[in-house]
Amino acid sequence: MPSTIDDIAIRTTDLRKAYGSEVALDGLSLEISTGTVYGFLGPNGAGKTTTMRLLTGLSQPSSGAVHVCGVDVADRRALAPHVGYLPETPPLYEEFSAREQLEYVADLRDIPQDVARERIEEYLDRFDLTDDADKRIAAYSKGMQQKTAFIQSALHDPDVLFLDEPTSGLDPRAARTIRESITDFAEMGTTVFVSTHILPVVEAVADEVGVLFDGKLVTEGTPTEVQNRAETGGSGSLEDAFLAVTSEHDPSARRKDK
C-alpha cells in the first residue's frame, strides 16, 4: 500500500484495548489507502465492534495510536467532519419522521439548508423512502430504519465511512442499493470500512479484506489473496477462505474437524 500520509485514510499502530484483565484488541496495525473499500471480518467476540469504536473516537485505546485522515481520533471535534458512522444499532429518534431525522442531522453537521434539502431528497428517492419520508420512524420496519440510518451517516459527505452490518434487515433490493452506494462512494474517493457477517457483501465490494480473530489481525489482503492463503488453495468463496483461516487459529474448531 502507499506509504505517504496523504494516501492513508486510516492508520493504526499497535492498537490495544483491554477491559481490566480481558484483552479485546491486541496490537492491531492497519494502513488503509484513501478510496479503498475495506472489509473487516471476524467471528463474534473477535474485537470488531471494539475496533470500530476506537476508529471513530467513541472509545480510547489502552495503548497504541489511531489516525483517520491524519487526525488523532482523540480529537473528536477535529475528527467529526471527516467520518460517518453507521453502528449496528442505528441512533434514530423514533418520534421523528425520516425527513425530520435527516434535517436534524444536517443541522448538527452545519450543512447549508439548500444543500441538505437536495441531498436528502436524492437519498430518499434512491432508497425508496420518499413515499414514507413524513411517517414516524417508530412505524418503520427494521429495513426502513436501517436505510434512514445509512443516509444520515453519509449525509455530510464524509472522507471515511464506517459501516457496521450495513445490510442487516434489508430486502435484496435495498441491500443491492447499499452495495452500489458503497462502490459509488469509493469511486468518488471516499474510504469505506465495512464490518459484516454477510461475506457475499464483502466479496462483492471490497478491495481489501482483514480478518480479526481473538483480537488479532490474522490475515489481510485482496479477497483473492486471502482465498489463496487459506487452506482452500484459492478455490471456493471468500466465506470458505474465512472459515479456513479462522479455523487455523481456533484449537476447538480444529478438534471438531478431526
On whether the CB atoms of residues 179 and 205 are closer than 8 A, the answer is yes
On whether the CB atoms of residues 69 and 6 are closer than 8 A, the answer is no
On whether the CB atoms of residues 56 and 85 are closer than 8 A, the answer is yes
pLDDT of residue 243: 80
Can you list the residues of the chain whose pLDDT is less than 70? 1-6, 230-236, 249-258
Going along the chain from its start, the domains and CATH numbers come out as 5-90+159-257 (3.40.50.300)
pLDDT of residue 233: 53
Q: What is the pTM of this model?
A: 0.89
pLDDT of residue 251: 53
User: Whole-angstrom Cα distance, residue 125 to residue 130?
Assistant: 5
pLDDT of residue 134: 97
3-class state of residue 182 by DSSP: helix
Q: Give 130-162 pLDDT, tens digit per residue.
A: 999 999 999 999 889 999 999 999 999 999 999
Burial, 134: exposed, middle or buried (Cβ in 10 Å; 0-12, 13-18, 19+)? exposed
User: Whole-angstrom Cα distance, residue 203 to residue 107?
Assistant: 36
User: Whole-angstrom Cα distance, residue 211 to residue 219?
Assistant: 5
Q: Give 23-35 pLDDT, tens digit per residue.
A: 999 999 999 999 9
